[in-house]
């Protein structure tokens, strides 16, 4: 449903009809895709304000600190962008399979497996030039995460196992595998309180974009999102994927290799989340431990839905939600709100965004004539 | 191996005890989800409902001193979350799977938020019935300390089985799940039936949550539920939407979940985390074995989006 609607919006933008159809009819659809999620966001912030007011906090203070903590200063901008980087990548893990009509919510698991694979690669290649190690980490992270989600895709295609449930179960299995290795075979004996693997070494870290404290992971995320956009909307492969997502029987009848599509898309999706894990290891943590299960995979689901599964729209939405989570610390310190308040707000936004699906095509002045 | 006399028997005993103790949340969530799914809707948000139920039960028990009021509060919280799910799903073009994911995140976040002050205090816990009085062996007695909620859950399974087959509302729920057109033709509101079914499902899932915080493990913290809710939802699928099979599957899962702690108690600690993942691996394995891409599952409600 989502993809079909996105198609028509695309088509209207790309192929301009001969007669001038009027502004609203041309761009009404696009405006709708900005206006409705925007309204949902405002509604969610309003409800969250009421919720916080029930605990005796001033909602205006809340909004001010949220803005200040997310976008108020250069420092908070950097914090926001640092958090947006993994969110872009984990959102792709939900958005790419969505083109095929699949609901994958296991980005967290692919992130953990990607981090574990990347760390293993770095530890195995100690002593080689940093660039070689970094490239190996990217390959390992993408492959590890990719295979993890491909498993969910393969189970769906060959065994009919529901991919939503299997991908979520795989999150818990990934977490168990990570804990098992981090506390066992891969444990650094020096890490006493917080079992961790050995460090990948300062030279192998990917570092920051010059002039900022934002690490290169953001660039990885931007490239991945743009590449995903081109793949889905401007290649034959992406077109085939969207056909299969719209009508799987029609896709089979015209001879599209649906199995190959599903496996490839799931691999790319998991690869994106795996890359997020690699970035978190190589730019933030420097090692693998349970800290990596910070919920980026779950927030990524929300980002993908809020962006209506469009890879380009994921970028601003990820920055927005990165900002919300960046402001969490300030809300805790200044307003005494629990750290879970960010989770509550995310949940409310999610509910509002889904409920707003009912509004599409129903806003009178955007309809134009049809 | 405190007394040594029973040695490795500790493991099967602990698994048996675990099957009884750990299975209760699985049982309540899967029975609740069974009702909801039979009406043609899937509620993946029961993971969030479970955590909210655990938190509200603990809070109410702490404030009132009565664990049974806690169980009731958990049920009501669950029913409200169920009503929220059903309410949003009643809007046109809203996908029930996505709403479930949203409520999973929302319920968990809200429970962590509201439950912050509850991590420290101790609340009154649910009583247990001692079925192991005849034995002198402490492990046997520990395994047979059975909670009342477990017995209620065990009784509920055949009652639901009977109700689905023979009562009027059982028929209505099944009709709504098989064909919404037929339901409308009979003059009933599909949305209303599904609303009620989702609320009852949420009520039961909330009670399952109260068991977590009020009996086993018996305290409130943020790591209380890690996927029991979603496992129970998957369990309904391979229990073929049959309440009696839900009971057996829940027992098997409880046993699998107790394997890790049981092995740890006899000194096998190496694969602790992997054994803890046993229920998830078991779920996945059973789903792989029982699902098929070529046919819909026998017993699947025709209106259910997740099996199509």
What is the tens place of the pLDDT at every residue in A44-101? 999 999 999 998 889 999 999 999 999 999 999 999 999 999 999 999 999 999 999 9
CB contact under 8 A, B91 and A360: no
Query: What string of H, E and C letters represents the secondary structure of B22-51?
Result: CHHHHHHHHHHHHHHHHCCCCCCCHHHHHH
> Please, what sign has the CA dihedral across residues B163, B39, B87, A314?
positive
Structure tokens given for A369: 């004539």
Of A158, A344, A358, the CB nearest to B293: A158
Question: What distance in Å separates residue B253's CA from the closest CA in chain A?
Answer: 14
Q: Which chain A residue is nearest to residue B104, measuring alpha carbons?
A: A347
Mean pLDDT of A254-264: 91
Asked if B264 and A171 count as a contact pair (C-beta separation under 8 A), the reply is no
**Contacting residues of A for B306, CB less than 8 Å apart:** 162, 164-165
Q: Residue B6 pLDDT more than 70?
A: no
pLDDT at site A21? 60
Mean pLDDT computed over every residue of chain A: 89
- B298 φ/ψ angles, rounded to the nearest 5 degrees: -65, 140
pLDDT at site B307? 57
Q: Which chain A residue is nearest to residue B230, measuring alpha carbons?
A: A165
Instruction: List the one residue out of A356, A348, A352 whose CA is nearest residue A49.
Output: A348
The proportion of chain B whose per-residue pLDDT surpasses 90, expressed as a percent, equals 54
- A296 φ/ψ angles, rounded to the nearest 5 degrees: -60, -35
A310-319 per-residue burial string, b: 16 or more CB within 10 A, e: under 16: bbebbbebbb
DSSP E strand stretches across B54-142: 128-130
Instruction: List the one residue out of A96, A186, A101 whose CA is nearest residue A149.
Output: A96
> Please, what sign has the CA dihedral across residues A356, A362, A363, A368?
positive
**Contacting residues of A for B270, CB less than 8 Å apart:** 184
Neighbours of A292 (CB within 10 A): 26
Q: Which chain B residue is nearest to residue A350, measuring alpha carbons?
A: B102
Q: How far is CA B170 from CA B176, B193, B301, in A?
A: 10, 11, 13
Of A103, A343, A360, the CB nearest to B105: A343
**Contacting residues of A for B93, CB less than 8 Å apart:** 1, 357-358, 360
DSSP B94: -
Question: What distance in Å separates residue B68's CA from the closest CA in chain A?
Answer: 27
Question: What distance in Å separates residue A93's CA from the closest CA in chain B?
Answer: 15
Instruction: List the one residue out of B194, B57, B184 whose CA is nearest residue B125.
Output: B57
Scanning the structure block, which residue is given the tokens 């509101």? B189
Reduced to 3 states (helix: H, G, I; strand: E, B; else coil), residue B130 is strand
Instruction: List the one residue out of B36, B26, B153 whose CA is nearest residue B83.
Output: B36
Mean pLDDT of A20-24: 65
Q: Is A42 left (phi over 0), alpha (psi -120 to 50) or beta?
A: alpha
pLDDT at site B78? 97
DSSP A199: P
Mean pLDDT of B211-233: 86
Pick the residue with more confidence: B277 or A280? A280
Of A160, A173, A301, the CB nearest to B291: A160
Does B36 lie at the interface with A, CB-CB under 8 angstroms?
no
Helices B96-115 and A341-355 sit at what angle, rounded to 10 degrees?
160
CB contact under 8 A, B95 and A340: no
Type and span of the H or E element at B145: strand B145-147
CB contact under 8 A, A347 and B107: yes
Mutation target vs A (from B26, B85, B88, B98; most A CBs, 10 A cutoff):
B98
pTM over 0.95: no
Of B97, B116, B273, the CB nearest to A176: B273
Q: Residue A179 pLDDT more than 50?
A: yes
Asked if A366 and B132 count as a contact pair (C-beta separation under 8 A), the reply is no
Q: Which chain A residue is nearest to residue B44, measuring alpha carbons?
A: A165
Q: Which chain A residue is nearest to residue B297, measuring alpha carbons?
A: A160
């Amino acid at each position: 449903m989502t993809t079909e609607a996105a198609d028509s919006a695309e088509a209207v933008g790309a192929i301009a009809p001969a007669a001038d159809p009027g502004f609203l009819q041309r761009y009404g659809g696009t405006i709708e895709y900005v206006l409705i999620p925007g309204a949902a966001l405002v509604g969610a912030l309003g409800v969250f304000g009421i919720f916080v007011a029930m605990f005796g906090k001033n909602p205006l203070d809340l909004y001010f600190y949220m803005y200040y903590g997310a976008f108020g200063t250069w420092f908070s901008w950097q914090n926001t962008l640092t958090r947006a980087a993994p969110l872009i990548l984990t959102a792709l893990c939900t958005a790419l399979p969505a083109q095929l009509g699949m609901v994958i919510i296991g980005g967290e698991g692919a992130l953990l497996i990607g981090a574990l694979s990347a760390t293993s690669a770095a530890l195995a290649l100690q002593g080689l030039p940093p660039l070689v190690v970094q490239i190996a980490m990217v390959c390992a992270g993408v492959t590890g995460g990719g295979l993890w989600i491909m498993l969910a895709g393969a189970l769906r295609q060959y065994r009919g196992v529901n991919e939503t449930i299997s991908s979520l179960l795989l999150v818990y299995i990934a977490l168990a595998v990570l804990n098992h290795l981090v506390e066992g075979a891969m444990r650094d004996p020096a890490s006493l309180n917080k079992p961790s693997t050995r460090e990948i070494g300062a030279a192998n870290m990917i570092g920051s974009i010059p002039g900022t404290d934002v690490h290169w992971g953001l660039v990885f995320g931007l490239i991945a999102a743009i590449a995903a956009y081109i793949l889905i909307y401007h290649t034959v492969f992406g077109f085939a994927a969207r056909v299969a997502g719209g009508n799987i029987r029609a896709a089979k009848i015209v001879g599209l290799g649906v199995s190959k599509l599903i496996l490839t898309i799931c691999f790319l999706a998991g690869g994106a989340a795996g890359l997020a894990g690699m970035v978190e290891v190589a730019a933030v943590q420097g090692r693998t431990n349970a800290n990596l299960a910070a919920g980026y995979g779950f927030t990524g689901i929300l980002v993908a839905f809020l962006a209506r599964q469009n890879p380009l729209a994921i970028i601003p939405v990820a920055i927005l939600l990165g900002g919300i989570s960046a402001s969490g610390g300030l809300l805790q310190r200044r307003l005494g709100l629990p750290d879970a308040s960010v989770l509550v707000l995310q949940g409310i936004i999610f509910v509002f965004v889904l409920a707003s699906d009912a509004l599409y095509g129903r806003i009178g002045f955007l309809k134009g004539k049809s | 191996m405190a007394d040594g006399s029973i040695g490795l028997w500790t493991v099967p005993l602990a698994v048996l005890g675990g099957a009884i103790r750990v299975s209760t949340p699985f049982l309540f969530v899967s029975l609740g989800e069974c009702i909801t799914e039979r009406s043609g809707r899937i509620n993946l948000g029961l993971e969030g409902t479970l955590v909210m139920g655990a938190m509200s039960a603990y809070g109410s028990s702490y404030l009132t001193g009565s664990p049974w009021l806690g169980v009731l509060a958990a049920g009501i919280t669950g029913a409200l979350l169920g009503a929220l799910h059903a309410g949003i799903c009643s809007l046109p073009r809203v996908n029930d799977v996505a709403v479930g994911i949203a409520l999973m995140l929302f319920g968990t976040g809200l429970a962590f938020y509201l439950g912050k002050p509850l991590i420290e205090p101790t609340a009154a816990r649910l009583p247990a019935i001692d079925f192991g009085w005849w034995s002198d062996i402490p492990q046997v007695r520990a395994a047979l300390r059975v909670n009342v909620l477990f017995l209620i859950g065990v009784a509920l399974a055949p009652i639901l089985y009977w109700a689905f087959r023979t009562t009027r509302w059982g028929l209505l729920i099944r009709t709504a799940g098989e064909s919404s057109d037929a339901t409308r033709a009979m003059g009933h509101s599909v949305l209303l039936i599904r609303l009620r079914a989702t609320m009852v499902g949420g009520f039961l899932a909330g009670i399952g949550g109260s068991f977590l915080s009020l009996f086993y493990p018996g305290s409130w913290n943020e790591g209380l539920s890690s996927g029991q809710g979603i496992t129970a939802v998957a369990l309904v699928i391979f229990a073929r939407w049959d309440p009696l099979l839900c009971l057996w599957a829940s027992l098997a899962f409880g046993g699998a979940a107790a394997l890790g702690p049981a092995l740890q108690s006899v000194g096998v600690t190496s694969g602790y985390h992997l054994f803890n993942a046993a229920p998830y691996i078991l779920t996945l394995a059973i789903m792989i074995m029982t699902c098929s891409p070529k046919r819909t599952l026998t017993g699947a409600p025709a209106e259910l989006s997740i099996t199509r």
